[in-house]
Structure 1
Amino acid sequence: MGNPPNFAQAVDLSSLGKPKAAPSAAMPGLEVTAANLTAEFLPLSSTKPVIVIAWSARSPESIEMVNILGALEKSYQGSWALAR
Structure 2
Amino acid sequence: MASSTLKRWLRPEVYPLFAAMGVALGICGMQLVRNISGNPEVRVTKENRAAGILDNFVEGEKYAEHRLRKFVRNKSPEIMPSVNSFFTDPK
TM tier relative to shorter chain: under 0.3
The two structures have a TM-score, normalised by structure 1, of 0.24
Query: Of Structure 1 and Structure 2, which has the larger fraction of its residues in strand?
Result: 1
The two structures have a TM-score, normalised by structure 2, of 0.23
- The structure number with the bigger radius of gyration is 2
Query: Of Structure 1 and Structure 2, which has the larger fraction of its residues in helix?
Result: 2
